[in-house]
Amino acid sequence: MKVFLVAGEMSGDRLGGALMEGLRQLLPDVEFAGVGGPLMAQQGLESLFPMDELSVMGIAEVLPKYRHLLRRMHETVEAVLAWQPDVLITIDSPDFCLRVAREVRAKADIRAVHYVAPSVWAWRPKRAEKMAKSVDQVLALLPFEPPYMEAVGLRCDFVGHPVVTEPVATSAEVQAFRADFGIGDAPLLVALPGSRRGEVSRLTPAFGDVVARLKQDVPDLQVVLPAAAPVADLVKETVATWAHAPIVLDPRDLDVDAGMARKRAAFAAADVALAASGTVSLELAACDTPMVVAYDMSWLSWQIMSRMALIDTVTLVNLVSETRTVEEYLGPAFKAEDIAPALLRVLQSPEAQRAAMALTMQRLGRGHEAPGLRAARAVLDGLKA
């Protein structure tokens, strides 16, 4: 069996790697091709081009790279058509991936599965209708998503989120992490400004301002910043301007497994997190680490997206748990003078978020079959239908 996969983000690479592992368990002779990152490479994928070229978010941010993205889309489509896989699986990054699926569908009868239902419940609800013309099946991470897809005639399987089966650092690993970096028993903040270059450039300087303000109230505060490999050099360059230098974790210093283990230890060791919006909120919840979410974008992107939004929160912990316990500072509210006091409140009362984080993990499938294996079964079942 031949499977062509396309992922455009680090979170998609994680999903793709787990799905590929599940497919190998069910079909040991499966073949893979496509676009992915290091975790998919561990499962045998040779990426058509570097995945981080697709990691662009925001309308204004995409425009300067539109022609290059278009070339990569055509290159991907041609690779699919040349290889003639049994199934094309596109993973998240809907603006890129669903265009690939649409172009392939126009030229060949290849089954298409999209992994991660587009957030039609959040904005642009008509995307479900459009994707039904080029996709046969959707794999959903969130339990409330299938009805939105099924309403337009798409098969949609809730498979759970891989974050619920990923290892969590042990207390010994946490103690070792604190000892290795000289943190001791000091309060620890993990700063997570994102994995895209645009995010890092926009958010990291402001995160430094937040840290400086927070240290006025918590003088012994320590800060660790796990950098994504594609932006590690940019992170180091940007934090050099901070008044209080953080500990930067560069994953290129270690192999993939060791790098992931160190990142998990940092998450679990942290008393609080300052995070960009996205899947990272679920990773923090899995580690029982309370957080504040802060995100900024260009004025144009904010004006367009805020007017199209159908929800009052972007944080997945809030959405899945049906609470609003995680504070958010988005767009115009992204102000260091407000974010720092929010982090202080969380440091002083961390228990306020813990019930919501536990409920989120339960609803995403913790304690059940691994989501990657569930996703693999759903793909194979769809091929039989």
**297 contact partners, CB below 8 Å, separation of at least 6:** 57, 58, 60, 61, 202, 305, 331
pTM equals 0.76
Structure-block tokens of residue 57: 């978010």
Structure-block tokens of residue 281: 């909120």
Q: What percent of the chain has pLDDT over 90?
A: 74
pLDDT of residue 59: 44
Distance, in Å, from the CA atom of 179 to the CA atom of 261, rounded to the nearest integer, reads 15
pLDDT of residue 3: 98
Q: What is the number of alpha carbons within 13 Å of residue 263 lying toward its C-beta?
A: 23
Distance, in Å, from the CA atom of 253 to the CA atom of 273, rounded to the nearest integer, reads 23
Residue range 368-377, pLDDT digits in tens: 899 999 999 9
- Give the residue from 362, 360, 293 showing the smallest Cα distance to 323: 360
Residue range 116-145, pLDDT digits in tens: 987 766 566 778 888 899 999 999 998 889
Q: Counting beta carbons within 10 angstroms of the beta carbon of residue 182, is it exposed (0 to 12), middle (13 to 18) or buried (19 or more)?
A: exposed
pLDDT of residue 58: 45
Cβ contacts of 300-309, under 8 Å, gap ≥ 24 = 300/59, 300/60, 301/58, 301/59, 301/60, 301/61, 302/331, 302/332, 304/59, 305/59, 305/123, 306/331, 308/123, 308/124, 309/122, 309/123
What single-letter DSSP state applies at residue 227? P
Q: Mean pLDDT, 10 residues at a time, over the chain (385 residues)? A: 94 93 97 96 95 64 69 96 98 90 96 89 73 94 90 94 90 97 97 91 95 97 95 95 95 91 96 92 95 86 68 86 95 95 96 94 92 97 91
Residue range 279-304, pLDDT digits in tens: 899 999 999 999 999 999 776 776 76
How many angstroms from the chain centroid is the CA of residue 126? 23
Q: What percent of the chain has pLDDT over 70?
A: 93
